[in-house]
């Protein structure tokens, strides 16, 4: 004997709708109407066989859904874990600003030790374009990290152009070749280092330091702006 709960669980949406119409037309209970509809769906087989088969199908579908959900959760956890920096690594962020472009260059950088001590970099770098400013910022961060004795360094910047260029073997603008070679030479002096792009909104501290450098330079040139 099949229970009402079993019948409700294995009934398709259209079968439930048909049973409601049948119950209304014949004036019978919805349970009796659903039993009638599913008995017709069973065809030559018994209602019990239909229930058993569909319960197995439902269990199989539920298992597949659970597996997919677990796979997504695992992938998400792995992705989040990959984003977490190594607790023993030094962290650095760099950013170069230019007002206008080309124009006055402001350099910003931040180096953080594994213990949390921070070194800020902020200075005016004269006149140039945004790519030059980004390269000078990267070089300044690398020089600071080497002086601090960083043995494992994770560097982040929001200039995809400079990051791609310094990780390549060249082929970029000729004006950047000297900066590229200098940055690559500094990278080679670090025992373990990685360079990764991040969106601008996640590079706020370095950006603020580069903007600060431009404001300081403007104030020095015109004390009335201070």
Judgement on whether residues 220 and 141 belong to the same structural domain of the protein:
yes
3-state secondary structure of 49: helix
pTM of the entire predicted model: 0.62
Judgement on whether residues 59 and 130 belong to the same structural domain of the protein:
no
Which helix (H) or strand (E) is 119 found in, with range? strand 118-128
Judgement on whether residues 131 and 174 belong to the same structural domain of the protein:
yes
Phi, psi of 108 (to 5 degrees): -135, 140
Q: Give the number of other Cβ atoms within 10 Å of residue 46's Cβ.
A: 12
| Residues spanned by the domain of 206 | 90-225
Judgement on whether residues 56 and 26 belong to the same structural domain of the protein:
yes
Is the four-CA dihedral 180, 181, 184, 189 of positive or negative sign?
negative
* Amino acid 175: pLDDT: 53
Judgement on whether residues 102 and 208 belong to the same structural domain of the protein:
yes
Write down which residue in 54, 83, 112 finishes a domain. Answer: 83
Phi, psi of 164 (to 5 degrees): -65, -40
Write down which residue in 37, 57, 83 finishes a domain. Answer: 83
* Amino acid 81: pLDDT: 61
Collect the ranges in the chain with pLDDT lower than 50.
Answer: 225-226
Write the CA distances from 97 to 35, 91, 175, 178, 210, integer angstroms.
74, 21, 18, 19, 6
* Amino acid 210: pLDDT: 96
* Amino acid 168: pLDDT: 79
Number of separate domains in the chain: 2
Judgement on whether residues 124 and 79 belong to the same structural domain of the protein:
no
* Amino acid 79: pLDDT: 72
Specify the CATH number for the domain of residue 186.
3.30.420.10
106 DSSP β-pair partners? 97, 124
């Amino acid at each position: 004997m099949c229970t009402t709960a079993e019948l409700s669980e294995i009934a398709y949406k259209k079968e439930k709708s048909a049973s409601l119409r049948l119950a209304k037309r014949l004036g019978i209970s919805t349970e009796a109407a659903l039993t009638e509809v599913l008995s017709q769906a069973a065809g030559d087989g018994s209602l019990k066989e239909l229930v058993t088969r569909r319960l197995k199908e439902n269990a199989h579908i539920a298992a597949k859904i659970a597996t997919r959900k677990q796979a997504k959760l695992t992938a998400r956890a792995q992705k989040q874990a990959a984003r977490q920096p190594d607790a023993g690594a030094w962290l650095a962020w760099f950013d170069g600003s230019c007002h206008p472009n080309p124009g006055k260059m402001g350099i910003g950088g931040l180096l953080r030790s594994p213990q949390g001590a921070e070194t800020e970099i902020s200075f005016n770098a004269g006149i140039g374009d945004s790519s030059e400013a980004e390269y000078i910022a990267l070089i300044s961060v690398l020089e600071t990290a080497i002086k601090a004795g960083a043995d494992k360094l994770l560097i982040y910047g929001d200039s995809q152009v400079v990051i791609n260029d310094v990780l390549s073997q060249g082929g970029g603008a000729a004006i950047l070749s000297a900066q590229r070679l200098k940055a690559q030479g500094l990278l080679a002096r670090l025992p373990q280092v990685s360079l990764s792009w991040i969106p601008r909104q996640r590079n706020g501290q370095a950006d603020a330091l580069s903007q600060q450098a431009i404001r300081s330079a403007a104030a020095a040139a015109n004390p009335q702006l201070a």
